[in-house]
Structure 1
Amino acid sequence: MRQFANSNFFLARASKETKWIYSGFILLATIGLLTIFAFQVARIGIGYEQLVVHYRGGELGQEMAFPKTFAE
């Protein structure tokens, strides 16, 4: 943490181990974001109509046909 407090710290000058840790974090974060995106596309879809049906709750008019849970 002392390295980050130093205004002269540059990642280009960091040790090889620090660069590996940063690279691993970025890789795992990217995998996580892609997984979340894939689950949402599979569950809801990416089209306008699919989004409307998901958030409105159905195609039975302007009101929601069923309430969404807290997670949704």
Structure 2
Amino acid sequence: MLLMAFDSTQQALRAEMLLEYAEIENDMCPTPKQITAGCALSLEFPQEEYERVKQIIAEERVEIRGIFFKKGDQYVNMEA
């Protein structure tokens, strides 16, 4: 699973709606303390949907902090 973090709750809820509309499985969860974000909510989604999620986020201009994967007990930004 990948994790998308946000700077605002509004953007998190918007992304959740967009992914559900695209029929991409997702789960709203608390943002892990290892990720510095302005919002306490993050979205988890399957790694195989990464390219589709990136496309939706770009097309709909959703503002995100980043998309992360878990490596050990740390979260690594996919874009870094």
- Quickly name the TM-score band, shorter chain normalised: under 0.3
Higher normalized contact order (CA 8 Å, seq sep 6+, divided by chain length): 2
Higher strand share: 2
Higher helix share: 1
